Amino acid sequence: MDYRKLDEKIYLRLDKGDELLAMILQVCRNADIRSATFHGIGAFGQVCVATYIPEKDDFLDHHKGGMLELASLDGNISHDEDGQIFEHAHAMFSYLNEDGSISFFGGHLKSAVVSYTAELVIEPVSGDGLGRMTDPHTGITVWKLH
């Protein structure tokens, strides 16, 4: 992993074996970033995405291995009242089927291990940034905007 700050953005390169979400959090801690948005592309070998099941108030995990191209990654970093930072990301991956066709899968990103490289841009939020709170209507944590 390596990164560089240019203007207000951080450009992050991940290397083989790096876990995407852990590296984003590490960079944010190193750069004292409490809130940010991020996006990126890359090639991954092991991925876990999840689908939220409201009736169970839980996630259903979907694991996939092989040559997985990260077609889309969007996420954010926010913090709780104690200053601990959290990531929230959704991703879409493509892969080649045995018959030569391409399939996609995605959802709430839980983990992704780089197989070749990944390139991301982290855009810090200025000021106090984005906090987190529990939504009384749904019971999930959401941005605290006030």
Cβ–Cβ under 8 Å, residues 68 and 47: yes
Specify the CATH number for the domain of residue 43. 3.30.1330.80
pLDDT at 129: 81
Predicted confidence (pLDDT) per residue in 29-40, tens digit: 999 999 999 999
pLDDT at 42: 98
Range of the structural domain that residue 66 is part of = 2-144
Predicted confidence (pLDDT) per residue in 117-140, tens digit: 999 999 999 877 888 888 899 888
pTM: 0.92
Predicted confidence (pLDDT) per residue in 70-103, tens digit: 999 999 999 988 889 999 999 999 999 999 999 9
pLDDT at 82: 86
Which helix (H) or strand (E) covers residue 30, if one does? helix 20-30
Q: Nearest to residue 113, comparing CAs of 76, 146, 66?
A: 66
Is pLDDT at 61 greater than 90 in this prediction?
yes
Domain total for the chain? 1
pLDDT at 143: 87
Detail the DSSP E strand segments found in the chain: 2-6, 9-15, 36-53, 58-79, 85-96, 102-124, 131-134, 141-144
